[in-house]
A and B are shown apart, each in its own frame.
Chain A
């Protein structure tokens, strides 16, 4: 098992050579302050999922943020994930100031920073958000020379689509531009401007082979900012249904959908979802979402972006808590249901898609290391985790909504720290814990409670699959803890959620 730093490497610049290429001269010699940008340096420290009591070595990620009024800096969320220190740096004079993350959304990969010093941003002209760029428009990607000189590289907009962002399960509108971009240090994320100098996006990723950059477009930034302005940040909502194409004429006839190419087949409605709440059922034919007609592939025609996947309507056309009218065909009759769209936070997943900023909980008892299963744990198998990670865990993760009851987590016996008391248990790993001392275990806190009640002087752990039962002598727990702490230098035996 090895660890992959997948989300710490700026995707934009993996293995890019620093070949001396012709520098692109900025058309207008604006300063960084006039353009509304400054450096953001974030020192981050990831938590180890396998050894959750340790933080990995710190790494500094440098990017460029855009200054927003009043007194805020917009930056990619991934740059400040697991931050230990965030600092703003003015390009012109090199002045620095620590900053606090005020709002962060890992799904949309956006964060708002507030400088810790009043007036630090005063010399910098705040930016405003651009109107949606059209296909073929030229946008300027901003980088900074080491001396602070602003370099802008023009790229042409080639299209829009709903595509994956930086964390699992995230899919939002993204704008694709094509441009050759030279490697420069400090390019973890870059602001992009239109010809009027308005903020046209933040870079999401850059592929240097195809020379394409995906941008977080103004629509996503605007949704994020509006949410942030309205008090407690809620996040991008969702509807919580999955659908299949209704192109197949035999399925169309079966569902009673009119011939043509309208509508998709609702194949499932997620538990605890807005769609379920609103009364949408599997088997319904979804014809319209809001004002938009949905075609048989689940796309609609957006006035600004052209053909887009329906997910954009669900996540971005409305703020959390708003009502989205959905037109369905059920039993041959049309009906309209109002769906109150709401976000699904990472912790609402039984197996969370990510965990940043909060150290992973764990509990070590008698040398047995227990953790809660998350996508981050599976990431320990590296970029090929879909092939390499244990198939039962992948299966649980993929079908968690069907397999795991509401409100439960998967508690895993992750591995065993060998001591003389764990003889015979050394090889146990990645076993799902079902019960401890006769109590059902739905999370690590349950386990902690169960450990208060040993049965007949033993702690009995019941696992899903071989060996089914692992037993510890309750009277030995403290002695083993001392032993484990000494041998493996573990400061604390537990960190509960």
Chain B
């Protein structure tokens, strides 16, 4: 299982604790030990199955005979088995929904006996600052259930490291949440107030743990209520805080501390065609937006995107704004920003690639950057500025020559390594699928051009065909291409 360094994993068996209070017995009857066998994709050998690793995580039963856990516990799992206390059997579980963007998953168990005698836990609310919570889990090295008492020390937006790009509300606890608490419930007054999910490695900070709070869990449950998980939605705009008096004056704004400036509207996303660069957003769903980008909800100031956070795909957002000084109102349905996947950790997807003449082409992604240690400035620019510069509009996928499997057909092509494919035979390449379709071997030769390179890559079809079996056998290519469309959502 490929996990970022500071995600937590349970690695011990569930054993009841005699001294636990009666209320805790109910919690024990909801706790699930989850064992997985998962594969770790190998971006250097995208044709291979990758290596497999086993892992253990925690989960708990919620209403409807479902098990809630972290997405990272069950990501890329080939087999998931669950166990419960006092029952030697292992039951096969299947993921019902996996939400990588908020690190939550729901599992089902086909064998109904599993849920006999189990108690479904209920959810509470957002715990107050300084209040005490109990985290249930099986920290590293321990065989027995561990209950950790902690105080809620901060409630704030945090990057969820499972995807690496999503930020949501998270609750910080000052107690040691260690590998072993992952997916386990955090309890207050007998109710679940969070799902333990990440911490820091000891060299960064100690005794700091994070849990996914109920608003995020509830949003997840609401999102899947229609039978599919649609991911988070986003306004998909860039905005600037209108704190400067001269800037406010030039926009004709009063000195009332309200309003933010739209500086980007991302194509193909929610606000595309609805908002314009230069619009001043004054209110969102009726909540006035402060010049610092906050809205007040129930007496608390939260960042403006929090309003959007709570919505699911297709729900509408209403904005009051000033355009060229004139008040306007717009409302539009919300959706996600698919180009975010460029910079995210990706799970549960087979690897897309194409080998032609021993040249390996892959769509650029965070994992591809890392696996091939790409330092090329153009590729880095495309990777880092993919969204900001809206490069995705022209290149839904950035196809990179990531590897050359040495063979007589390609011995003098090393200089092209890490080039970004611009065209094949003069036709633009925008996805791996478009490239694969163009490399049909029906011409005498194919000419691949790379961005910024005047040197064409000429591949004579006869030579490529002649090399095909040799390269496949020499390099153990079990597959020569797997061309998947880019995932848009």
A interface residue numbers (CB < 8 A to B): 242, 244-245, 247-251, 253-254, 265-268, 282-283, 386-387, 391-392, 394-395, 398-399, 402, 421-425, 456, 458, 460, 465-473, 476
Check A391–B380 contact: CB distance below 8 A: yes
Q: Give the residues in chain B near A422, CB-CB below 8 Å.
A: 244
B458 at the binding interface (Cβ < 8 Å): yes
B455 at the binding interface (Cβ < 8 Å): yes
Q: Give the residues in chain B near A247, CB-CB below 8 Å.
A: 411-412
Check A268–B454 contact: CB distance below 8 A: yes
**Once bound together, how far apart are the Cα atoms of A424 and B261, in whole Å?**
12
What are 5 inter-chain pairs, A to B, with CB distance below 8 A?
A: A395-B381, A423-B243, A424-B244, A466-B263, A471-B250
User: B417 to chain A: closest CB distance in Å?
Assistant: 13
| Nearest-CB residue, chain B, relative to A281 | B454
**Once bound together, how far apart are the Cα atoms of A469 and B261, in whole Å?**
9
Check A473–B246 contact: CB distance below 8 A: yes
Beyond the given A251-B412, A421-B244, please list 11 additional residue pairs across the A-B interface where CB-CB is below 8 A. A248-B413, A251-B458, A266-B454, A391-B385, A394-B381, A421-B245, A423-B245, A467-B240, A468-B278, A470-B247, A476-B246
Check B380–A473 contact: CB distance below 8 A: no
Q: Give the residues in chain B near A248, CB-CB below 8 Å.
A: 411-413, 458
**Once bound together, how far apart are the Cα atoms of A250 and B356, in whole Å?**
15
**Once bound together, how far apart are the Cα atoms of A425 and B247, in whole Å?**
10
Which residue from A266, A392, A398, A460 sits with its C-beta under 8 Å from B378? A398
Q: Give the residues in chain B near A398, CB-CB below 8 Å.
A: 377-378
Check A471–B381 contact: CB distance below 8 A: no
**Once bound together, how far apart are the Cα atoms of A476 and B244, in whole Å?**
13
**Once bound together, how far apart are the Cα atoms of A18 and B447, in whole Å?**
58
**Once bound together, how far apart are the Cα atoms of A402 and B451, in whole Å?**
11
Check A391–B384 contact: CB distance below 8 A: yes
Q: Give the residues in chain B near A472, CB-CB below 8 Å.
A: 246
Main secondary structure of the interface of A (DSSP, over half): mixed
Q: Give the residues in chain A near B263, CB-CB below 8 Å.
A: 465-469
Q: Give the residues in chain B near A242, CB-CB below 8 Å.
A: 454
B463 at the binding interface (Cβ < 8 Å): yes
Which residue from B251, B277, B377 sits with its C-beta under 8 Å from A391? B377
Check A250–B385 contact: CB distance below 8 A: no
Q: Give the residues in chain B near A469, CB-CB below 8 Å.
A: 247, 261, 263, 278
Q: Give the residues in chain A near B313, CB-CB below 8 Å.
A: none
**Once bound together, how far apart are the Cα atoms of A251 and B456, in whole Å?**
8
Which residue from A283, A391, A465 sits with its C-beta under 8 Å from B381? A391
* With A254-B447, A471-B250 as contacts: A424 and B242 at CB distance below 8 Å: yes
Q: Give the residues in chain B near A402, CB-CB below 8 Å.
A: 452
**Once bound together, how far apart are the Cα atoms of A468 and B278, in whole Å?**
9
User: B372 to chain A: closest CB distance in Å?
Assistant: 16
Which residue from B240, B243, B375, B445 sits with its C-beta under 8 Å from A250? B445
User: A472 to chain B: closest CB distance in Å?
Assistant: 5
B453 at the binding interface (Cβ < 8 Å): yes
| Most chain A Cβ neighbours within 10 Å, of B240, B380, B388, B454 | B454
Q: Give the residues in chain B near A249, CB-CB below 8 Å.
A: 412
| Most chain A Cβ neighbours within 10 Å, of B277, B278, B415, B455 | B455
**Once bound together, how far apart are the Cα atoms of A247 and B415, in whole Å?**
11
**Once bound together, how far apart are the Cα atoms of A266 and B453, in whole Å?**
11
Which residue from B240, B245, B385, B460 sits with its C-beta under 8 Å from A392? B385
| Nearest-CB residue, chain A, relative to B408 | A249
Which residue from A253, A265, A391, A425 sits with its C-beta under 8 Å from B455? A265
Check A471–B454 contact: CB distance below 8 A: no
Q: What number of B residues sit within 8 Å (CB to CB) of A?
A: 41
**Once bound together, how far apart are the Cα atoms of A249 and B411, in whole Å?**
10
B241 at the binding interface (Cβ < 8 Å): yes
Check A424–B377 contact: CB distance below 8 A: no
**Once bound together, how far apart are the Cα atoms of A399 and B378, in whole Å?**
9
B314 at the binding interface (Cβ < 8 Å): no
**Once bound together, how far apart are the Cα atoms of A248 and B457, in whole Å?**
9
B459 at the binding interface (Cβ < 8 Å): yes
| Most chain B Cβ neighbours within 10 Å, of A245, A248, A386, A391 | A248
Check B415–A245 contact: CB distance below 8 A: yes
Q: Give the residues in chain B near A465, CB-CB below 8 Å.
A: 263-264, 388
B238 at the binding interface (Cβ < 8 Å): yes
**Once bound together, how far apart are the Cα atoms of A251 and B377, in whole Å?**
26
Check B246–A250 contact: CB distance below 8 A: no
**Once bound together, how far apart are the Cα atoms of A424 and B249, in whole Å?**
14
| Nearest-CB residue, chain A, relative to B240 | A467
User: A269 to chain B: closest CB distance in Å?
Assistant: 9
Q: Give the residues in chain B near A268, CB-CB below 8 Å.
A: 454
User: B240 to chain A: closest CB distance in Å?
Assistant: 4
**Once bound together, how far apart are the Cα atoms of A458 and B249, in whole Å?**
9
Check A254–B388 contact: CB distance below 8 A: no
User: A83 to chain B: closest CB distance in Å?
Assistant: 33
User: B44 to chain A: closest CB distance in Å?
Assistant: 22
Q: Give the residues in chain A near B240, CB-CB below 8 Å.
A: 466-468
User: A96 to chain B: closest CB distance in Å?
Assistant: 47
User: B400 to chain A: closest CB distance in Å?
Assistant: 16
User: A454 to chain B: closest CB distance in Å?
Assistant: 11
User: B178 to chain A: closest CB distance in Å?
Assistant: 33
**Once bound together, how far apart are the Cα atoms of A476 and B247, in whole Å?**
13
**Once bound together, how far apart are the Cα atoms of A247 and B456, in whole Å?**
13
**Once bound together, how far apart are the Cα atoms of A399 and B249, in whole Å?**
39
User: A462 to chain B: closest CB distance in Å?
Assistant: 11
**Once bound together, how far apart are the Cα atoms of A131 and B397, in whole Å?**
57
Q: Give the residues in chain B near A265, CB-CB below 8 Å.
A: 454-455
**Once bound together, how far apart are the Cα atoms of A392 and B386, in whole Å?**
12
Check B455–A267 contact: CB distance below 8 A: yes
| Nearest-CB residue, chain A, relative to B292 | A424
* With A251-B458, A283-B454 as contacts: A458 and B378 at CB distance below 8 Å: no
CB proximity to A under 8 Å, residues B230-270: 238, 240-247, 249-251, 261, 263-264
User: A473 to chain B: closest CB distance in Å?
Assistant: 4
| Nearest-CB residue, chain A, relative to B381 | A395
User: A457 to chain B: closest CB distance in Å?
Assistant: 8
Check A424–B243 contact: CB distance below 8 A: yes
**Once bound together, how far apart are the Cα atoms of A460 and B251, in whole Å?**
11
Which residue from B245, B380, B415, B463 sits with its C-beta under 8 Å from A244? B415
User: A474 to chain B: closest CB distance in Å?
Assistant: 9
**Once bound together, how far apart are the Cα atoms of A68 and B380, in whole Å?**
49
**Once bound together, how far apart are the Cα atoms of A386 and B376, in whole Å?**
10
Check A425–B244 contact: CB distance below 8 A: yes
Q: Give the residues in chain A near B415, CB-CB below 8 Å.
A: 244-245
Q: Give the residues in chain B near A394, CB-CB below 8 Å.
A: 377, 380-381
Check B455–A244 contact: CB distance below 8 A: yes
Q: Give the residues in chain A near B243, CB-CB below 8 Å.
A: 423-424
**Once bound together, how far apart are the Cα atoms of A467 and B453, in whole Å?**
33
Check A251–B455 contact: CB distance below 8 A: yes
| Nearest-CB residue, chain B, relative to A473 | B246
Check B455–A468 contact: CB distance below 8 A: no
| Most chain A Cβ neighbours within 10 Å, of B261, B412, B453 | B412
Check A460–B250 contact: CB distance below 8 A: yes
User: B405 to chain A: closest CB distance in Å?
Assistant: 16
CB proximity to A under 8 Å, residues B426-472: 445, 447, 452-460, 463
**Once bound together, how far apart are the Cα atoms of A470 and B313, in whole Å?**
34
CB proximity to A under 8 Å, residues B335-360: none
**Once bound together, how far apart are the Cα atoms of A119 and B240, in whole Å?**
67
Check B384–A471 contact: CB distance below 8 A: no
Which residue from B377, B454, B460 sits with its C-beta under 8 Å from A395? B377
| Most chain A Cβ neighbours within 10 Å, of B240, B246, B455, B463 | B246
Check A424–B381 contact: CB distance below 8 A: no
Q: Give the residues in chain B near A468, CB-CB below 8 Å.
A: 240, 263-264, 277-278
Q: Give the residues in chain A near B242, CB-CB below 8 Å.
A: 424
**Once bound together, how far apart are the Cα atoms of A472 and B244, in whole Å?**
9
| Most chain B Cβ neighbours within 10 Å, of A253, A394, A469 | A469
User: B256 to chain A: closest CB distance in Å?
Assistant: 15
**Once bound together, how far apart are the Cα atoms of A422 and B378, in whole Å?**
34
Interface string of B361-376 (1 = CB under 8 A from A): 0000000000000010
**Once bound together, how far apart are the Cα atoms of A444 and B380, in whole Å?**
29
Q: Give the residues in chain B near A460, CB-CB below 8 Å.
A: 250
